[in-house]
Amino acid sequence: MKTMTCKQLGGSCDKAFQANTFEELAELSKQHGMEMFQQQDPEHLEAMKKVMQLMQQPQAMEDWFAEKKKEFEALAED
Domain boundaries, the chain: 2-74
The pLDDT value given to residue 37: 95
Q: What is the mean pLDDT of residues 60-77?
A: 94
Helix locations, the chain, DSSP H: 22-38, 42-55, 58-74
pLDDT digit string, tens, across residues 19-33: 999 999 999 999 999
Q: In this structure, are residues 29 and 18 in contact, taking their beta carbons and an 8 Å threshold?
A: no
Q: In which band, very low, low, confident or very high, does the pLDDT at 7 lie, cut at 50, 70 and 90?
A: very high
pLDDT of residue 17: 98
